[in-house]
Structure 1
Amino acid sequence: MCTVIVSVEPDAEVPVLLAGVRDEFVARPWMSPGAYWPEHPDLLGGRDLLGGGTWLAVNPPARRVAALLNGRGRPAALPVRLSRGDLPLLAAEAGEMPPVDLSRYDPFYLVVAGLDGVRLWTWNGEKIAEEKLPRGLHVIVNTGLPADEENERVAHFRPRFAAAPRPEYVTEGSPERFWGEWLPLASGDNLLPDDPRTLIVRHVLPDGRVYASLSVTLAALAEHGVRYDFLPFPEDPRTWHSVEMPPEGRG
Structure 2
Amino acid sequence: MCTVAVSIDPDADFPLILAGVRDEFVDRPWLPPAEHWPGLLGGRDLQAGGTWLAVDPAAGRAAALLNGHGVLAPADARRSRGELPLLAAAQGRLPDLDPRRYDPFHLVVADPAGARLWHWDGVELGREELPPGTHMIVNSGWEQGEENERVAFFRPLFAKAARPRSAGGSAAGGGWGEWGEWAFLATGAGLATGDPRAMIVRHALPDGRVFASLSVTLVALAPGEVRYDFTAEPRDPASFRRVLPE
Of the three residues 127, 133, 141, the one matched with 1:144 is: 141
1:111 corresponds in structure 2 to: 108
**Aligned residue type for 1:110:** L
**Aligned residue type for 2:51:** T
Offset of 1:236 from its aligned partner? 7.2
Offset of 1:42 from its aligned partner? 1.5
Query: Identity of paired residues, percent?
Result: 59
Offset of 1:244 from its aligned partner? 4.0
Preserved CA contact (<8 Å) 1:60 1:245: no
Residues 46-66 of structure 1, C-alpha deviation per residue, up to 9 Å, x if partnerless?
000001010000111111000
Task: Give the stretch that moved more between structures: 63-72 or 226-235.
Answer: 226-235
**Aligned residue type for 2:40:** L
**Aligned residue type for 1:218:** L
Offset of 1:160 from its aligned partner? 0.3
Q: Relative to total residues, which structure has the larger helix share, 1 or 2? A: 1
Of the three residues 86, 93, 102, the one matched with 1:96 is: 93
Matches within 5 A, 1:188-227: 188-227=188-227
Q: Does 1:186 align with 2:183?
A: no
Preserved CA contact (<8 Å) 1:213 1:233: no
Q: Measure, in 2, the Cα distance between the counterparts of 1:74 and 1:148.
A: 24
Q: Does 1:45 align with 2:42?
A: yes
The secondary structure found in structure 1 opposite 2:231 is strand
The secondary structure found in structure 1 opposite 2:178 is helix
**Aligned residue type for 2:157:** R
| Unaligned 5+ runs, structure 1 | 247-251
The secondary structure found in structure 2 opposite 1:194 is coil
Structure 1 runs (4+) greater than 4 angstroms displaced: 234-238
2:60 corresponds in structure 1 to: 63
Preserved CA contact (<8 Å) 2:31 2:44: yes
Residues 15-49 of structure 1, C-alpha deviation per residue, up to 9 Å, x if partnerless?
00000000000000000000011xxx211000000
**Aligned residue type for 1:232:** A
Offset of 1:233 from its aligned partner? 3.4
**Aligned residue type for 2:223:** E
Q: Measure, in 1, the Cα distance between the counterparts of 2:224 and 2:100.
A: 39
Q: Measure, in 1, the Cα distance between the counterparts of 2:27 and 2:194.
A: 21
Preserved CA contact (<8 Å) 2:6 2:18: yes
* Corresponding pairs, count: 239
Q: Does 1:243 align with 2:240?
A: no
Preserved CA contact (<8 Å) 2:146 2:152: yes
**Aligned residue type for 2:15:** P
1:7 corresponds in structure 2 to: 7
1:123 corresponds in structure 2 to: 120
TM-score by length of 1: 0.91
**Aligned residue type for 1:194:** G
Q: Does 1:22 align with 2:22?
A: yes
Q: Measure, in 2, the Cα distance between the counterparts of 1:188 and 1:136.
A: 21
The secondary structure found in structure 1 opposite 2:49 is coil
The secondary structure found in structure 2 opposite 1:61 is coil
Offset of 1:224 from its aligned partner? 3.5
Q: Measure, in 2, the Cα distance between the counterparts of 1:126 and 1:170.
A: 44
Offset of 1:11 from its aligned partner? 2.2
Offset of 1:148 from its aligned partner? 4.1
Offset of 1:197 from its aligned partner? 0.5
1:168 corresponds in structure 2 to: 165
Q: Measure, in 2, the Cα distance between the counterparts of 1:116 and 1:189.
A: 29
Assess, with a 3 A threshold, how the Cα gap between structure 1 residues 170 and 193 changes in structure 2: closer, same or farther. Answer: farther
The secondary structure found in structure 2 opposite 1:20 is strand
TM-score by length of 2: 0.93
**Aligned residue type for 2:117:** L
Task: Give the stretch that moved more between structures: 99-108 or 87-96.
Answer: 99-108
Offset of 1:234 from its aligned partner? 6.6
Q: Relative to total residues, which structure has the larger strand share, 1 or 2? A: 2
Offset of 1:97 from its aligned partner? 0.7
The secondary structure found in structure 2 opposite 1:11 is coil
| Unaligned 5+ runs, structure 2 | 169-175
